[in-house]
Chain A
Amino acid sequence: MEFILNNLLTLILFIPVLAAIVILILPHDQVTLIRWTSFILSLIPLGLSLILWFNFDPQGKGFQFEQVNEWYPALNSSYHVGVDGISLTMVLLTTLLTPLAILASFSIQERVKPYMVLFFLLEMGMLGVFMQLDLLLFFVFWEFGLVPMYFLINQWGSEKGEREIWKGRKIPARTYASFKFMIYTMAGSLGLLLAIQMLGAVAGTYDIPELVIRWNSLSHPVYGLPISTVKAIAFWAFTIAFALKVPIWPFHTWLPDAHTEAPTAGSMILAGVLLKLGAYGFLRLVLPLYPEQAKTYAGALAFLAVMAIIFGALASYAQDDFKRLVAYSSVNHMGFVVLGIAAAAYSAGSIDANIALNGAVLQMFNHGLSAAGMFFLVGVIYERTHTRNLSDFGGLFPLVPVYGGILIFTSMASLGLPGLNGFISEFLVVRGTWPVFTLFTTLSMIGLFFTGAYILKGIKQVLHGPLNVHWVGHISEINPREIFVMVPLMVLILLIGIWPSWILNVINNAVSMWF
């Protein structure tokens, strides 16, 4: 026990790697064995995260469970992990969604072994980003997460669909989507990489807490430019990389493609955790490193966020593809996270900033739950009907009443119905933003209205209306395994909706401590 508590973060981070190695040893034709082993092994990080959660002191100062080890001394970079309230909730979200996604992947038939191995590597990559307090290793994990996701989309993505690239040449849609995902994100992180190098060269350390102090105390010109200019350039380099990942308008175009083509579990993780990496980057790096620049450009950031909210909702409403509808809803919901962050950057130190940030972090967690649930439910119906076209469904409620109930419940969480989790976080964001960016907040309400519209559109097209008789006898009810995936998500959605203080306590302490 002593050992576990002393190395808790390291264990959570690298047990997925061990799990991947175990899976690698298993014979590849024992599909059932591989599935169950993966599921059971993925519960270990979850169990350890719960230990972490209950041993975490919500009132504690600074980072907890810190560990420092030598990694690349020549570059002043070390393996430094630690969590505060913000990263703790993200670690919990990641380790919670991974077993559920693996359970959701039991329907994968082809090449189960490499699939599971990639999934564990993906988990490791995401956890690393949330835990690392060393900027270089932060980038290492940030970039590495791309690789498994690329292959998951490219190899296990939906088999139908083609995209025309140019001159009538067509390639499979999943190839197109995965390539776009890879190149977009790599190009986005290029600026981040350069800025990180520059920071390291100027400040002489990659340790984030130390770097924040040294970087903010710089006053002399570097590279022949005034320090404020250099900081502004570096600010935008960081911001664009993170904005691409969140994604905020107009950097979002990779997302609908990647989400739509990814396998169900891939979409769950993509929407549930990967998008949070970008928002987390804003909180952990952009705000502490560039408080002044963030304040200067907060208006621009808020504008982009509002655009994401409005256009995300409108685009979502216009979709005929159920999965694309859910994909655009992520753009819409993540817009609120960025809006909250922008407001906090502008009014740093005030009570409004505190409320907005609480809302933003909680919204990250909430969107993780509801988006993962929504993508899973889309996957459930797709496996039965092999179509995602909304006009092919209709009136399915009587055929699949339990599925229908779960779908409505999860949609309502996404819509922001009071009593469920989405309401709490969106309310906090809007409450915190209102005194700071009144006009933008008002405009975001338009987006919120269309959120209601597209959610209802989705429900109506699938469950209500005249029954499409084609499906009678061809569609089966959601099975116990699938219900089991949804239960933890629904319990948390309801719990946070009714009694949010258990998680807000942890978040609030971190937010008040840092900002």
Chain B
Amino acid sequence: MQFPLLSFIVFTPMVAGILIFLIPADRKTEVRVAALAAGAVALAMSIVAFFGYDTAAGGYQYVERYTWLPSMGISYYVGIDGMNAPLVLLTGIVMFTGVLISWGIDDRPREFFGFLFILATGVFGVFVALDLFMLFFFYEIAVFPMYLLISIWGWKVTREYAAMKLTLYLFIGSLVALVGALAMYYTAGMGTFDMLALEKAGFSKAFQIIWFPFVFFGFAVLGGIFPFHNWSPDGHVAAPTAVSMFHAGVLMKLGAFAALRVGIMLLPEGAKFHMPWIILLTLVNVVYGAFIASVQTDFKYVIGFSSVSHMGLVSMGFATLDKAGMLGAGIQMFSHGVMTALFFAVVGMVYDQAHTRDIPHLGGFRKVMPLVSLAFIIGGLVSMGMPFFSGFIAEFPIFLGLWQADPAWLWSNYAWIAIIAAISIVITAAYIVRIIGKVFFGKLPGEFEGHIHDVNTLDKVALVFLSAILVIVGIFPRIMVPLVESGVDNILRLLGGA
């Protein structure tokens, strides 16, 4: 029997979390070391899974299947293809760096890492699930710890409000999606939640058109789609640094990915029917998100809204239903995940020293934390889609997809959407450049003189690691592109044609 790699990836965090709970609460160093070890193991295994995937062979690999509840047709069924392999890697990366930069958490680190790891199990589970029931199962596991993490360790001013808002939003979303999933289960009449089987269920066109919005929007709420995005900036801001990294870096991809896997892949006809108007919502995401980000004065809100804008590009790429567009969306999920994790790490580091996130009050951090500034600049360049960074590699195909797409009805092409969406690039550049100029260059305010210090080595390791990934993918797109391309081909087969 083959080594159950995916199960190890999924359950390592869970087991580690439980073990961490067994360590006495006052042995904080042991807790941290255990957490770091678990993070490193998960990262190493996700790297193995990513690079071990055989692109030439394609399809689902590392597949494992165990019957779980045969009477309902539920099984534990996992596997990765080109679409989710980068996301598994992303989760490993964010988990590892999240532990690194949370080293300084002194308030109940045992519980913090415990919950964080349960969350990680949920995330890994959703990404690799091939069974619809399992997907929901892990989805809820991922959402619930978020509530505790934000409301206990979050920013004191808004944490209860934000945690509540976030959880309720996502709850409602997943319920709506669940209704759609149950409709699929009963209509298919095959007595199975196996998604690969459901792909072949042959749902009627009317059925698909009716149920697609339920499933798609139910999950897309977590992907931050307009007008259901406004839990996300609040949630980002209230969460502690590592949780923000997880939240924006990985959790939002969970929504986009589930909307793809359950929505587009199981109900392709519905997708073709609805996407021409959904793309308008994503356009609002992209441009309006960038605009709102540009007028924020709270550093963390800027990044929060920039995530709304960038996740809009992911949904937009999927909405084109075009090969290039979906390829771009797949890469953008990875690129944005790493980039935004880097951003939130930097914001957290600045806040830890300055105890304020009000941009007009910050300045001159380059002098005390040069590496942090460099990391933010690299993240910023990714964010504005600068060539030689991963953002360009992802955004260019999304736009190309808009030019190539062939909408089923309503419009004859999306050329004008590409033109309007491109405005966001300049707005993003403007606010990123403004922040770089104000926060990192500029004058160090007198009250910070001597009170702020450079970050520690663990933080630096995390920043260098994240920045390096963004640059490497930007310069050598072929590390990731053929893989995602094979995943996209699979989706296109379901959509029929091409």
Contact = CB atoms under 8 A, between A and B. Distances in A.
A143 interface: yes
A198 B415 CA distance: 8
B400 interface: yes
Nearest to B395: A193
Given A74-B481, A143-B386, A143-B387, A194 B422 contact: yes
Interface in B441-488: 441, 477-478, 481-482, 485
Contacts of A139: 387
Interface in A180-212: 182-183, 186-187, 190, 193-194, 197-198, 200-202
Interface stretch (B85-93, B350-358, B424-432): B424-432
A165 B237 CA distance: 31
Given A74-B324, A223-B413, A175 B387 contact: no
A72 B419 contact: no
Instruction: Bin chain A's interface residue count.
Output: 20 to 34
A144 B430 CA distance: 16
A144 B388 contact: yes
Interface string B403-434: 11000000011010011001101100110011
B139 interface: no
Contacts of A74: 324, 327, 397, 481-482, 485
A141 interface: yes
B56 to A, nearest CB: 14
Contacts of B404: 201
B392 interface: yes
A179 interface: yes
A86 B413 CA distance: 38
Contacts, number: 84
A155 interface: yes
A74 B441 CA distance: 39
Contacts of B412: 223-224
Contacts of A71: 477-478
Nearest to B366: A155
- Chain B contact residues, majority secondary structure: helix
A175 to B, nearest CB: 6
B244 to A, nearest CB: 27
B433 A140 contact: no
B400 A197 contact: yes
Instruction: Bin chain B's interface residue count.
Output: 35 or more
Interface in A46-97: 70-75
- Chain A contact residues, majority secondary structure: helix
B266 interface: no
B381 interface: yes
A197 B413 contact: no
Nearest to B429: A186
A248 B33 CA distance: 61
A190 B441 contact: no
Contacts of B381: 147
A183 B426 contact: yes
A187 B393 CA distance: 19
Contacts of B485: 74
B441 A144 contact: no
A396 interface: no
B426 A198 contact: no
A224 B416 CA distance: 12
Given A72-B393, A197-B418, A201-B403, 18 more contacts: A72-B477, A75-B396, A140-B388, A144-B386, A144-B388, A146-B386, A147-B386, A154-B441, A175-B437, A183-B426, A183-B430, A186-B426, A194-B418, A194-B419, A197-B403, A198-B403, A200-B400, A224-B412
5 contacts: A75-B400, A139-B387, A186-B425, A198-B415, A223-B412
Those 8 A-B pairs whose CB atoms lie nearest each other, nearest first: A140-B387, A201-B403, A201-B404, A223-B415, A197-B399, A72-B477, A143-B387, A144-B387
